[in-house]
Copies of this chain bind each other. A is one copy, B any other.
Amino acid sequence: MYRDNPLTNISWHDFQKLTPEQKGPYFLREDRPYHVLTAQQFSRPMLERICDLTTKIRLIGKTKGGIHFLQDLLSEKRAMLYFVQPSTRTFLSFYAACQILGIAPAEVRDTTTSSEVKGESPEDTVRTFSSYFDLIIMRHPVGGFAERIAWLLSNTNRPIPLLNAGSGKDQHPTQALLDIYTLQRSFESHGGIERKRIAFVGDLGRGRTVRSLATLLLLYPGVRQYFVAPKELQIGDDIIAAIEKAGMEYEVCDDFEQVVPEVDAIYMTRIQDEWDASHESRLTDSNRFHFTAKHLAMLKPDAVLLHPLPRRKEIDVEVDSDPRAIYWRQVRNGMWVRAALMLTIFDRGVEIDRYYEDLVS
């Protein structure tokens, strides 16, 4: 395993200078994700494979026999969930995904109970985890820290895979994967994601979720992206540049109600005021970007409404019972996608294929 790790063939100094696209291949092994650090590391075939596995796992998990089969798959593994930023959803869905696959989970969430209070470096702390566990799932406030650790672990005599569950402001790749899966599942019976019109609404400048998903959507020809936000919270120029470079269509605007009837999917987001430098969120009249019961009437009959959650007031609770509101299904999809991803990392997808074939034949 050690010899095939591309991160052993490059110095940290050189690696840092690469673009996200250039870094991608360093996180793979034989065309499968090994480390999962960025949205950019996924190719279209990888996404298709993960979606395929996710659906199979989800269906296998509907019977007691299937659950026991899944629980045996990675029962020889132990995972460390190192979450030093607040998180319920991502943490618990990874935790549950571990339990589904028989991976024994352990967690460190509160740095006041850890050795960091004794002056240990973050690198040493994570290297300690790699001494006891077979996989590290990490959410960390420092952008780039996950990449640093992936490089570092790859250059020890006990390299193990690292899953980025959110780092700094930039990357949250597993959220992007579950969003892709949710879209694909929603559009399964009418042509898939390709050529769909997808709107992002809310705080687009600071939400790493939107940035990651917008990037992955470049892999689906014909998709037209709408970015609907007040000017000060609009999507970054780098994303627009990437869309243009890919030769795809997009629209940047701030008229929410005009966009609602036009699109096949609306992806609502929360104002991320925990990243506020100087209360800029409070200056924005964000009410104009809230989805309420009246918007349901404007929405296409087969359109879908997503939200990465947690929500505040962006979507009225009344909307929840409409069948086009799929954010609660999206939450549960996250658990299945993460299970599929861990199976892929450990190259056990083929066992899922085999079980599934027996199930449906």
Contact = CB atoms under 8 A, between A and B. Distances in A.
A297 B131 CA distance: 27
B86 A119 contact: no
A339 B133 CA distance: 15
Contacts of A87: 113-115
Which secondary structure characterizes the binding site on chain A? helix
B64 A68 contact: no
Interface stretch (A36-44, A103-111, A201-209, A216-224): A103-111
18 contacts: A67-B76, A78-B99, A86-B114, A86-B115, A87-B113, A87-B115, A88-B115, A89-B128, A92-B106, A92-B129, A95-B106, A115-B310, A118-B270, A119-B312, A120-B310, A124-B310, A131-B335, A158-B328
A114 to B, nearest CB: 4
Q: Which 7 A-B pairs have the closest CB atoms?
A: A120-B310, A96-B132, A88-B115, A99-B104, A67-B76, A115-B310, A88-B114
A188 interface: no
A352 B80 CA distance: 27
A53 to B, nearest CB: 19
Interface residues of A, number: 56
A109 B120 contact: no
A224 to B, nearest CB: 30
Contacts of A270: 118-119
A116 B89 CA distance: 11
Interface in A22-74: 64, 67-68, 71
B115 A113 contact: no
A116 B301 CA distance: 33
A303 interface: no
A18 B331 CA distance: 33
B133 A115 contact: no
B78 A68 contact: no
Contacts of A283: none
B89 A115 contact: yes
Given A86-B114, A99-B104, A331 B92 contact: no
